A = this chain, B = another copy of it.
Amino acid sequence: MAEEKNKYKTTVTIYGQQYTIVGDDPPEHVRKVAKALTEKMKEHKSLNPYLNTTRLAVLTAVNLVMKT
């Protein structure tokens, strides 16, 4: 049953905003992903300073999917 699965609740800061991630991913993994994503967003922002946070997040997501 789904209810029997381990569920973790991790609060992280991504690009200055707090997010609570609930799921099967252990906190140390969620924190690592949050850190990597923040760095990637900062990198994109430095290349495209005119981007607002929504466009920045969408373009970072596009970039991440493109690489998979």
Give A contacts to B, CB under 8 Å. Answer: 14-15, 17, 19, 21, 23, 25, 29-30, 33-34, 36-37, 53-55, 57-62, 64-66, 68
Contact = CB atoms under 8 A, between A and B. Distances in A.
15 contacts: A19-B58, A19-B62, A21-B59, A25-B66, A29-B66, A33-B65, A34-B62, A36-B65, A37-B58, A53-B54, A60-B61, A61-B64, A64-B64, A64-B65, A64-B68
A48 to B, nearest CB: 11
Chain A interface, >50% SS class: helix
Contacts of A17: 54-55, 58
Contacts of A59: 19, 21
